[in-house]
């Protein structure tokens, strides 16, 4: 289906206004009486040489920097030699540390202390699933702590290049 010049200008205005293709599809039907499939709307926008605006992604929260320590020493074999445990990342009362040697069956593992002082072991398995093993049987951390834990873990792993 072809659109006349005024209808094309209307579509261009909608794109400039930041509407998504599905919203344009709905407006074409409701305001102009033109029914099109989503794919037809995509082709129309492409034919008109218009580019939908990308929605600005939310800005990430800046992670709290871990205290800087001396660089790790290397042994003759090139392996890290560290006397202290891995640095912890703490966001809003949730502290996360990464084990130097991952637990069996895990790609990476570590420990977390939640805002209420309860501790748990965490791990990420070979399929990328995150697991949590609390020290206290049946303990479930508050939802806000889980979110803070995930953000702190992401910050800590990104420091390690993971």
Determine contact, residues 127/112, Cβ cutoff 8 Å: no
pLDDT at 87: 46
63 confidence band (pLDDT: 50, 70, 90): low
SS3 state of residue 80: strand
**Residue pointed to by tokens 């445990």:** 85
Closest C-alpha among 117, 119, 122 to residue 150? 122
CA 135 and chain centroid, separation: 27
For the stretch 1-56, pLDDT in tens is 678 888 888 888 888 888 888 888 898 888 888 888 888 888 888 888 877 776 55
SS3 state of residue 152: helix
For the stretch 84-142, pLDDT in tens is 344 455 556 889 999 988 888 899 999 999 988 999 999 998 888 888 889 988 888 88
Q: How far is CA 61 from CA 51, 58, 135, 141, in A?
A: 29, 9, 29, 21
Determine contact, residues 91/144, Cβ cutoff 8 Å: no
pLDDT at 36: 85
Q: Is the alpha carbon torsion for 138, 97, 100, 150 positive or negative?
A: positive
Q: Could you give the CA distance from residue 37 to residue 20 in angstroms, rounded to a whole number? A: 14
Q: At residue 57, does pLDDT exceed 60?
A: no
pLDDT at 54: 62
Q: How far is CA 57 from CA 20, 53, 60, 156, in A?
A: 15, 12, 9, 22
Q: Could you give the CA distance from residue 52 to residue 64 in angstroms, rounded to a whole number? A: 35
Q: At residue 152, does pLDDT exceed 80?
A: yes
């Amino acid at each position: 289906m072809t659109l006349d010049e005024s209808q094309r200008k209307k579509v261009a205005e909608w794109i400039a206004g930041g509407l998504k293709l599905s919203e344009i599809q709905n407006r074409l039907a409701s305001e102009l009486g033109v029914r099109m499939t989503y794919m037809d709307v995509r082709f129309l926008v492409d034919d008109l040489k218009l580019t939908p605006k990308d929605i600005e992604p939310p800005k990430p929260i800046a992670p709290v920097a871990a205290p800087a320590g001396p660089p790790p020493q290397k042994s003759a074999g090139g392996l890290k030699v560290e006397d202290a445990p891995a640095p912890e990342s703490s966001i809003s009362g949730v502290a996360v540390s990464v084990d130097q040697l991952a637990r069996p069956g895990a790609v990476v593992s570590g420990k977390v202390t939640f805002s209420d002082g309860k501790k748990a072991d965490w791990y990420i398995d070979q399929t990328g699933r995150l697991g949590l093993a609390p020290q206290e049987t049946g303990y479930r951390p508050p939802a806000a702590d889980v979110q803070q834990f995930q953000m702190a873990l992401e910050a800590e792993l990104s420091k390690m290049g993971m």
